[in-house]
A = this chain, B = another copy of it.
């Protein structure tokens, strides 16, 4: 009634699972099991869609569909931690060549070839490993190549623009869970590198966080106002390696003061590696750290709520 039931196309949009797959699963595994509308067309109730989202997220983390769909009921929630199978040396070596090939495409100004290569890898590996094994190392290499003079400015721009597009497309399909934090993502003025932000957004969204992307170069005051307006739990900033390090602490200090105490401030990206640190800011130099921090946040929140519940049900001494 209040939840109007989803058509198969809507579920495809919301979960990223193709219509074929949805029908196949129903046939093979008995889930999902949508009801039918007056035309005999599938009508998925909201809770099944939610479970599908969760399954998709676990698949992107390397789980296999057969297991997940056979799984009794809400045992899914317990599976979350299996975090990216260990990136083996062998796989890393293979990728090495692949990465070089992709960079070569950029050097040849073959935009279409590069886009296809990206999309192929995204489809093959799933978003999480795509971000960690492809986009992150590529970005780093392009940065190095640019410093060495092997890349022209416009080649770096082309790389950024095309990579952005593929990432955004993938991120667009991701859902957000309940009990997960609302994360506001942006960069400070003078920091216009957006790829790091997109990588974080992808990984956070995979975990189920509700991401609010504000693009780059937000004045600090505006970041604070936006965080309140959007009721964000976390403000995440990204500093690229190119950003002048000594400016970072000042920015963070000021922003920390503008933000309400309840809103956490997380900082990541290559630029925060060795900058001076403040205690009131969560530093996450690596992508992995971000994911861990997010999981920690969720656990902590669950703990808090549990504690609060206990307190409220127990009689006062």
Contact = CB atoms under 8 A, between A and B. Distances in A.
Interface string A186-219: 1000001000000000000000000011110111
Given A168-B169, A172-B169, A222-B152, A157 B214 contact: yes
Contacts of A215: 157, 160-161, 164
A168 B212 CA distance: 18
B219 A158 contact: no
A172 B165 contact: yes
Interface in A32-55: none
A109 interface: yes
A152 B212 contact: no
A229 B154 contact: yes
A250 interface: no
A248 interface: no
Given A192-B192, A212-B158, A222 B172 contact: no
Contacts of A261: none
Contact of A218 (B154, B162, B212): B154
Contacts of A115: 172
Interface residues of A, number: 34
A164 B164 CA distance: 11
Nearest to A13: B119
A225 B161 contact: no
Contacts of A162: 213
B217 A192 contact: yes
A153 B212 contact: no
A114 to B, nearest CB: 12
B165 A225 contact: no
A134 interface: no
A192 B191 CA distance: 12
B225 A154 contact: yes
A48 to B, nearest CB: 19
A158 B214 contact: yes
Contact of A214 (B161, B186, B223): B161
B153 A218 contact: yes
Contacts of A223: 154
Pairs A-B, 3 closest by C-beta atoms: A154-B226, A153-B222, A161-B215
8 contacts: A13-B119, A111-B212, A152-B225, A154-B214, A158-B213, A165-B168, A169-B169, A169-B172
